[in-house]
Amino acid sequence: MEDLPEALVTEILKKITRTSDLNSLSLVSKQLYKIEGNQRGAIRAGSGLCTATEALTSLCARFPNLFKVEIDYSGRIPGHGSQLDNKGLFVFSSHCSSLTDLTLSFCSYIGDSGLGCLAYCKTLVSLRLNSAPKITSTGIFLVAVGCTSLSALHLIDCEKIDSVEWLEYLGRDGSLEELVVKNCNGINHHDLLKFGSGWMKLQKFEFERERGICDLIPFDDVYDSLYDAHSMDIYDFCCESLQDLSSLKSISLGLNLQHYSSDVQYCEARTSFTDNSLYALALNCPMLQIVDLKFTGCDPGWPSEIGFTQKGFLALIRSCPIRVLVLNNVNFFNEEGMKALSYSSYLETLELILCHGLTDAGMRFIAQTPCLSNLTLRLCHNVTDVGVAELGRAHKLESLVIEYCGEISLQAVQGIAKSVHYSKDYSDALVKKIGLGPA
């Protein structure tokens, strides 16, 4: 083979795809060693990178045309050698002039200063960080400013990333087409507003938190300085290029009042989620199965404080195969809503907390829900023994939980379901659910 032209040998090697075969061929001759090294475009390394910086330098020298690199320390145990650190990342900027795709998984020794070295990788197009405990928003911002060709950014289990100047910068000056944020609990749905005009270019978006998409903690008053009183669509994103949207099969929404003026005494206040938000969920989350809605600070007599209506919520119920539904302090859900809910062919578990619109008439519709087997009522004071009797006539409940519903007696719930829990007092679960603090 040493007599064959180098161009022909290169074409032959391109037909070989298994890494083990390429490694074996490179040992046959110096010619094959050199050609295979120049041809290799992607490598994946991890715990075997002993004295990581030196090893990575050797790899980059051995393969000068690398465009895709993955470093993965998952499953690493003591004794496997030192991990790649901040100094090691400088190797990419100094030795990998063609690097376009970089994945760093479980690299616990890498922090912001190391990530800043990637700012010199001007060809970098895709960056994926998986379980990077030391990296903060500062490091991401350095990459956003330096890597002007960046079009894909994945952040998974990066617990210290919170402030979103980097997101604002990428939305304004970046070319991001793919954004994935999973289990970075310092980033919530309000932060995503900072992406601004970047939504116009985005083609793929995934957002996931440990407790669900769009989770707000704590539930205290928030003043939203971005709100325009003359534009009710301030929270609607223009995403004309978006082709791939992914979220969880479950969604937990903790919604509190937003003040839309610096003058709290006279300002309008409502929650930020709107009917348009619900329509978007119904359209883009066809596998949504678990919905948990909790409202804080909304007066039972002011349903307008909730930013969406019963009509928008029912559109979500009709469009998705929801099996579990939890409504906490949902003051707009009345008899008409319960009637619509009774047509849900998937609903198996229903939990209602502080739902003042629920009456005995509504209980009659709940009893008609075809697959309902688990029902919980907490602090629903407008339901009486008459409404509970409707459940008994249906003969379908597996479990029934009644807590602190003042008009329901112990006698009324007996025999209604195979498993019955009844209490007139606050339980620990109830205190936690409604956020009362220590009992």
Instruction: List the CATH number of the domain containing 153.
Output: 3.80.10.10
How many domains is the chain partitioned into structurally? 2
Listed in sequence order, the residues at least 6 apart from 393 whose beta carbon sits closer than 8 Å to its beta carbon are: 367
pLDDT level of residue 143 (50, 70, 90 thresholds): very high
Residues 63, 201, single domain; the answer is yes
Q: Are residues 2 and 98 in the same domain?
A: no
Which of 196, 141, 436, 194 minimizes the C-alpha distance to 296?
Answer: 436
204 three-class SS: strand
* Judgement on whether residues 152 and 21 belong to the same structural domain of the protein: no
Same structural domain, 49 and 160 = yes
Residues 169 and 108 in one domain: yes
State whether 13 and 67 are in the same domain: no
19 and 50 co-located in one domain: no
Q: In this structure, are 31 and 166 located in the same domain?
A: no
Q: Say if residue 83's pLDDT is above 70.
A: yes
Confidence of residue 324 (pLDDT cuts 50, 70, 90): very high
Residue 106 banded pLDDT, cuts 50, 70, 90:
very high
- State the residue range of the domain holding 16: 1-39
Residue 205 and residue 61 share a domain? yes
Q: Which of 176, 210, 244 is the last residue of a domain?
A: 210
Write the pLDDT tens digit of every residue in 162-195.
878 999 999 998 899 999 999 898 887 778 878 8
Is the CB of residue 104 less than 8 Å from the CB of residue 80? Answer: no
CATH code at position 24: 1.20.1280
- Strand boundaries in 86-196, DSSP class E: 101-105, 126-130, 152-156, 178-182
Q: Average pLDDT in the 391-409 region?
A: 91
Amino acid at 53: T
